[in-house]
Chains A and B, each alone.
Chain A
Amino acid sequence: MHDLKQHLIKSFHANVRADGRKLDEFRKIEFELDISKTAEGSARVKIGDTEVLAGVKMLVSTPFPDTPEDGAIMINAEFLPMASAEFESGPPGIEAIELARVVDRGLRESKAIDVKKLCIKKGEKCWAVSVDIMTMNDDGNLLDAAALATILAVKNTRFPTYDGNEVNYKQLTDDRLQIEKIPVMVTVSKIGDYLFVDPVVEEEQNIDARLTVTLTDDGSICALQKGGDMPLTLDEIGKMIDLAEQKAAELRKLID
């Protein structure tokens, strides 16, 4: 077994982490809204030294043929090579794709955005909410940081002016993108027998498994993603969801 991993297990046994946190403790979370004036909504989230930007563009698009009355939600993530010596230039790798899809599921399935309200003309025109997540610095837990930046950016979004023909992005209206529910994502990680949240990179590289849980306001689970190479027992899954619920309640207070 890896030396660092053995060391982590030993210190977790004493409920101590390298930066002095307890196993169930997040790093300091900071956020800032409206970090890009060219986006219709945007946010910066810092969790410790991890930093993520999210920007929303509102596009007029054609509804999918099977959902002619629904608008669209699109989420894309870029692991910028700026953020880590480990990230390379080029199209999104599998980690970035997974992150975007997990954040997407949380947002979509929570029904945070009522896609019916994005309909402009049935079968012909609708609004598409396009979120781009950009990593600025990776010190672990990009997942939770990205989800938080996404919901903050979406919540901060205003519609651009649209005359039925052309979108004028230079003139935002006072019309906000209505957010019906707030999904909150928490990833619980596991090393050895220990469950913990908000890993730094060194911890993240040594996890056996992780479970990403997205919860809505009423406490119901709207998206899950198990990651890592090792399996989980039913008992562990229960404990991980309990921990996620407890942490989600704390994060929710930050958003409101």
Chain B
Amino acid sequence: MGYSQRFDGRKFDEIRPIEAKAGVIKNADGSAFFRIGKTTAYAAVYGPRDLYPKFMQDPSKGILRCNYSMMPFSGQGDRVRPGQNRRAREISMVTEKALLPVVDLVDFPNAVVDVFIELPQTDAGSRCAGICAASIALADAGIPMRDLVAAVSVGKVHDKVLVDLDYNEEAYEDGPVADVPIAIIPSTEEISLLQMDGEISKEELLEAIALGKKVINQIIEVQRKALKDKYIVKD
């Protein structure tokens, strides 16, 4: 039988509707909202600012510190206990690593750039949505960057390689599922986030990543537009 028709009717290489806005949190130095389907993410950037405790400071450059957090009512099922659980801590770390290659903090020794990511509602792909929002927020904060970073999940459901799995697809039970969140630096096409869980062959994995590279441009365009829209002078 196989997975012939996606649950929500999308094509296999089609991402869910996306939306982005820069400058949504007034107190932050930079901020953004990013939505893909029913997954929504806010990111706020504070800094560069002094880093305490002092022993964490790096005199050669500033450090990037990301904090990913799901709001307690943002899960598909029960209430999520607030605070940092193991999952959130790991995602915070890989988010940092996904963004670090484009962020240049040599001019800010001993400082920290804090990125806070909050998700009010999720339908899979939340770490990718968080990275997309964070990337816009860092640019909005005026942090020196070589490029933006865009992220999307790719993978496999049953016999089909596809992009942007939603929750129903992640929970598919009639065949193997692979979820592969990736982040891409568009100017170099390098990959700064790669995780995967499930079951997939090497050929299918490479095919899935290639598919991700194809659709990532649509995301980058929306991110760039969000930044431009904030600074356009309206008469």
Contact = CB atoms under 8 A, between A and B. Distances in A.
A170 B76 contact: yes
Interface residues of A, number: 35
Nearest to A85: B46
Interface string B14-46: 000000000001111001000000101010101
A172 B76 CA distance: 12
B121 interface: yes
A49 B82 contact: no
A139 B71 contact: no
B26 A139 contact: yes
Contact of A85 (B38, B49, B76): B49
Nearest to B65: A89
A100 B26 CA distance: 23
Interface string B31-68: 10000001010101010010000000000000000010
Given A132-B82, A137-B26, A139-B27, A169 B71 contact: no
Nearest to A170: B76
Given A38-B121, A57-B78, A91-B83, A137 B25 contact: yes
B75 to A, nearest CB: 6
A80 B73 contact: no
A85 B73 CA distance: 24
Contacts of B74: 36, 38-39, 55
Among A35, A37, A56, A170, find the residue whose CB has the most chain B CB atoms closer than 10 A: A37
A59 B83 contact: no
Interface in B64-94: 67, 69, 71-79, 82-84
Given A57-B78, A80-B118, A82-B116, A49 B26 contact: yes
Interface string A9-44: 000000000000000000000000001111110100
Interface in A60-116: 76, 78, 80-85, 89-91
Nearest to B81: A76
A169 B76 contact: yes
A144 interface: no
Contacts of B40: 36
Nearest to A78: B82
Given A81-B114, A137-B26, A169-B76, A36 B42 contact: no
B109 interface: no
B123 to A, nearest CB: 8
Contact of B25 (A56, A83, A170): A83
A170 B116 CA distance: 28
B101 interface: no
A55 B120 contact: yes
A82 B72 contact: no
A73 to B, nearest CB: 14
A145 interface: no
A130 B31 CA distance: 29
B122 interface: yes
Nearest to B46: A85
Given A82-B44, A136-B25, A38 B67 contact: no
A203 interface: no
A57 B27 contact: no
Contact of A138 (B27, B77, B84, B123): B27
A80 B72 contact: no
A109 B181 CA distance: 47
Nearest to A132: B72
Nearest to B117: A82
Nearest to B29: A85
Contacts of B118: 80, 82, 134, 136
A29 to B, nearest CB: 16
Interface of A: 35-40, 42, 49, 51, 53, 55-57, 59, 76, 78, 80-85, 89-91, 130, 132, 134, 136-139, 167, 169-170
12 contacts: A36-B74, A39-B74, A53-B71, A56-B73, A59-B78, A82-B44, A82-B118, A83-B44, A89-B67, A130-B79, A132-B73, A139-B27
Given A81-B116, A136-B25, 6 more contacts: A42-B73, A49-B26, A81-B46, A85-B27, A134-B118, A137-B28
